[in-house]
Structure 1
Amino acid sequence: MAHWPGPWRREEMGWIFPRRATGALIGVLTVASLLTSACANNAADNDGDLGKLSQMTMATGSTGGTYFPLGGGIAQLWSNEIKGLRVTTQATGASVENLRLLKSGEVELVMSTNGVGTMALAGDGEFKGEKHDFVALGNIYPEVLQIVATEKSGIKTVEDMKGKRVALGPPGSGTEVTAKQVLGHYGLDPENDVKPFSDTFADAATKLQDGAIDAAFTVLSLPAAAILDVATSSKIRIVEITGPNLDKLLKEDPSFSTLEIPANTYPGQAKAAQTVTNWATLYGLPGLDEEQVYQLVKVLYEKGSGIEHSVAEQITLDTALEGLGETKLHPGAERYFKEKGALD
C-alpha cells in the first residue's frame, strides 16, 4: 500500500481523510454545491414551478424613498400572517433594477411602476434588446403626475407652459419620460417650446419658491410632502390633464390611468384637479406557487391598509388592476380577484 504525501492517502479505490481535513473538505464541497445550485436556479427558466417556498425576497427601492419603508411593512405583514413563509426586502435603485433582478431570479417579488413594467415586457426604452417574463400580483398605490405651477406664472393649462421655465425631472427618470409624453400630446416640444430644467423635485421645489422656474413635473404619492412645503410658502396651482389630448395619451399608453387629486389636498387648492397616474405595482416570478401567491394578494388587499405608512391606506382592491394593460396576472392573484368580483 503506497502512502501519499500530505494528510490524505488513497487506500485501494477510495480516499481516507483525517477528521479535520474531512470537515474542511465537506465544508468546501457544501459551499460549492450551494453555489452551483444557486447559479443553476438563477439560470433556470423562471416559468418553472418553484414549489412552495419558506422564504422570498422582495426588491424595493432606495432607503430614502417610498418603496423601501412601505415594502418593509408589507414584507413584515406577510411574514406575520402567512404560516411557513418569511419575506425579506432588498434595497435597490427601484423599478428598472428591480425588474432585472427578477429576470435573473435573484429575487421572487419586486415593486415597480407599471409603466416601467410595460416597457420591460415590450423590450423598449431602458430594456431595449432584453427579454423579460414576469407576472403581476396587483397595484399597491398610485404614483401621481402632479404638475405644480406658481400662481404668478399665469399657467393654468399644459398649453400655457409654452415659453415658460419648466422642470421636467432628472435625466433618464420616469418623471422626465412622463413630462415629455404629456407635453408632446399637448403639441409642445419639450426641448424647444419650453425652457427645460433637469431638476430633482427637491431642487425644483426650491426654485419654485425662489421664482427661478415657473412650473415643475413631479411623479409622487398623494399628498406629496415636498409640494406641501412649497404650497405653504407660495401660492401654487395644480395644472390639470384633461380633454382630447388626455384621451389620446390614455389610448397610446395603457399604463396610465386617470385620477382626481381631491380639493384641499394642498393649501390653497380649492378645487379637485384631474391628472394621470402610473401605479406602484407588485410583480413576481411566473413559477411562484399558486396558493402562496393567493395568500400574498389576499393579505395585501385585506390587511395592507393597516401598515404604518402614509400611503398604506391607498392599498385597495378598487384600484388593484388599473393600468396593467396586457400584463398577465399570476394564477394565484387571478383566483383572488375573481373571488372578490374584481375580475370577470
Structure 2
Amino acid sequence: MKRKNFILSLVFMLTLSLVLAACGGKDDAGESKDSGDKGGKKQFLNLVTGGTGGTYYPLGGSFANIITENTNAEATAQSSGASAENMESIKTGDADIAFTQTDIASYATEGKLMFEGKKVTNVKALASLYPETVQIVTTAKSGIKSVEDLKGKSVSVGAPGSGTYANAEQILEIHGMTMKDIKAQNLSFDESTGGIQDGTIDAAFITAGTPTGAVEGLAATTDVVIVPIAEDKIDALIEKYPYYAKDEVPAGTYKIKEPVKTVAVQAMLVVRDDLEEDLVYDITKAIFENLDKVTHAKGKIIKVENALNGVGIDVHPGAQKYFDEKGVKK
C-alpha cells in the first residue's frame, strides 16, 4: 500500500510539474513579445491604409514594418476605403493609426460635410506626409481635354463620403457644375482604371500621391491623359477651400509629355488620442528616421521639416515632442 501511495504521489508531482511548465510556456509564447531593449509587452496596432491600387496601401505596409522593427509595438497594415472610412475606424476604435487627407481630418473633427452629426473627437494628428494630387484621369481617345468636357460623361468620383468624392464635388462646383452634370460612378481606383480601359467609363477622379499604382497600370497599355485645371479655377478653389494647394503631375509620369496643372491636399497620419505619449513619440521617431526603408517613391519626398504642413487638427503630444526636438514648426 505504501509503495502504491508513493507511486501515485510521484505521478501526481510529475503531472503537476508538466502542467506548470506548460502554463509557463503559454505565458512566454501567448503574451505579447518583449521589445528588446525597451522591455515590456508588445502592443498590437491596426494601421488602416486605402485601396490596393492607391498610395496609402504600399506606404502603410512599409510603415507597419518600420513600427514593428523599431518600437515596442507590432503594427499590421490593412486595406480600407481610405480617408473618410479611416476616420470612422478611429472613432469606433477599430483602428489605432490611419491614413487620411488633411481636409477630411478637418471635416471629421468639425463635424462637417460627410461627418455632419457624427463628429470624430478621439483623433490626433501624427504627421503630414506629402501632397495628395487630384488627378482627373482619362485617355487620348476620349477627347476630354478640360473639366468642362466631363459634362454628360461617365465619370468615377470615388465612394460617397470619401475624400476623392469631396474633391470631385468641389472642383465641379468651381466650374459651375454638380454631380448631376455628369454620370457619376462610385468606383475604387482599380475599378476606375479598369473601367477606363474597357470603355465602361470615360474618366475618373483619383486623389493620391503620384505615381499612383492603378494609373501606372493603365498607362502600361493605354495613352493616359491627365485633365488640367485652369489657373483661374485653381485660384478660385484655393480661395474658397484653403486646404488645397497648387500642384502638378510631372512630365514623364504615366508617359505624359508635359506637366499638368492641378491641385493637391496633404496626406497625413492620424492616431487615436488615447495612445500613450511615449508610444506615439517612438512611432513618429521610427517613421521619420527610417524613411530609407520605404519602398514607394513617395518615401523620398516625406521630410520631417514638412511634418506639420497643412495639419488642421491638434497634434498628439507624443508626436509634438519629437517635432519639438527637431525644431519643426507649423
> CA 1:226–1:253 in structure 2 vs 1: closer, same or farther (change >3 Å)?
same
Alignment of 1:89 onto 2:94: no
Q: Name stretches of at least 5 consecutive residues in structure 1 with no aligned partner.
A: 1-51
What displacement does 1:121 show? 0.4
Residue 190 of structure 1: aligned partner = 179
CA gap 1:139/1:153 in 2 versus in 1, 3 angstroms? same
Quote the Cα distance in structure 1 between the aligned partners of 2:188 and 2:234: 25
For residues 106 and 209 of structure 1, what CA distance do their matches in structure 2 show? 35
The CA deviation at 1:53 is 8.4
Identify the residue that residue 57 of structure 1 maps to in structure 2.
45
TM-score by length of 1: 0.71
- What is the letter of the counterpart of residue 308 of structure 1? T
Q: Contact between 2:46 and 2:94, CA under 8 Å: does it hold in 1?
A: no
Which residue of structure 2 lines up, in the alignment, with residue 158 of structure 1? 147
**Is 1:123 aligned with 2:115?**
no
Separation in 2, partners of 1:218, 1:236? 13
Q: 2:315 aligns with which of 329, 334, 343?
A: 329
Please give the alpha-carbon distance, in whole angstroms, between the structure 2 residues aligned to 1:104 and 1:230: 36
1:167-221 residue CA offsets vs partner (Å, 9 max, x unmatched): 32344433222212111111122212x3434444434334433455432211233
Report Cα offsets for 1:23-56 as digits up to 9, x if no partner. Answer: xxxxxxxxxxxxxxxxxxxxxxxxxxxxx98525
Structure 1 pair 54–264 and aligned structure 2 pair: CA distance change class (3 A): same
Partner residue in 2 for 1:295: 282
| More moved, 328-337 vs 89-98 | 89-98
- State percent identity of aligned pairs: 35
Residues 18-33 of structure 1 aligned to structure 2 (within 5 Å): none
SS of corresponding position for 2:253: coil
Identify which range, 73-82 or 102-111, moves more after superposition: 102-111
1:80 is paired with a residue of what secondary structure?
A: helix
Report 1:1-344 matches (<5 A): 55-61=43-49, 64=52, 66-82=55-71, 85-89=72-76, 91=78, 93=80, 94-105=82-93, 107-133=95-121, 134-192=123-181, 194-267=182-255, 269-325=256-312, 327-343=313-329
Residues 163 and 88 of structure 1, relative CA distance in 2, 3 Å threshold:
closer
Distance 1:64 1:206 in 2: 13
Q: Distance in 1 between matches of 2:219 and 2:168?
A: 21
Per the alignment, in what secondary structure is the counterpart of residue 280 of structure 1? strand
SS in 1 for 2:67: helix
The verdict on how the C-alpha distance between 1:161 and 1:311 changes in structure 2, with shifts beyond 3 A counting, is same
Pick closer, same or farther for the CA change 1:317–1:172 going to 2, 3 Å. same
String of CA shifts for 1:111-142, please: whole Å, max 9, x gaps: 32323211210112332222322211102344
**TM-score scaled by length of structure 2:** 0.74
User: Residues 64 and 271 from structure 1, CA distance in 2 versus in 1: closer, same or farther, beyond 3 angstroms?
Assistant: closer
Partners of 1:225 and 1:294 in 2: CA distance: 31
2:303 maps to a residue whose letter is T
* 1:317 partner letter: V
List per-residue Cα deviations over 1:286-340 (Å, max 9, x = no partner): 3444444333222212212423345433432254233323x11123323433443
In structure 2, C-alpha distance between the alignment counterparts of 1:104 and 1:200, rounded to whole Å? 23
158-167 vs 116-125, greater mean Cα deviation: 158-167
Equivalents in 1 of 2:194, 2:94: separation in Å?
39
| Cα deviation 1:238-294 (Å, max 9, x = unaligned) | 112342322232233344333222110112x11112222233321123344444433
Corresponding residue SS for 1:223 = coil
Distance in 1 (CA, whole Å) between partners of 2:319 and 2:41 is: 17
> Counterpart amino acid of 1:313?
K
CA drift of 1:229 comes to 3.1
Q: Aligned pairs, how many?
A: 291
Give the whole-Å Cα distance in 1 for the aligned partners of 2:225 and 2:217.
14
Q: Is the 8 A contact 1:56 1:109 kept in 2?
A: no
Following TM superposition, by how much is the alpha carbon of 1:92 offset from its aligned partner in structure 2, in angstroms? 6.0
Q: Distance in 1 between matches of 2:131 and 2:283?
A: 19
Measured at CA, do residues 72 and 259 of structure 1 come closer, stay the same or move farther in structure 2, by a change above 3 Å?
A: same
User: Which residue number in structure 2 is paired with residue 8 of structure 1?
Assistant: none
Paired residue secondary structure (2:290): helix
Cα offset for 1:100? Answer: 3.4
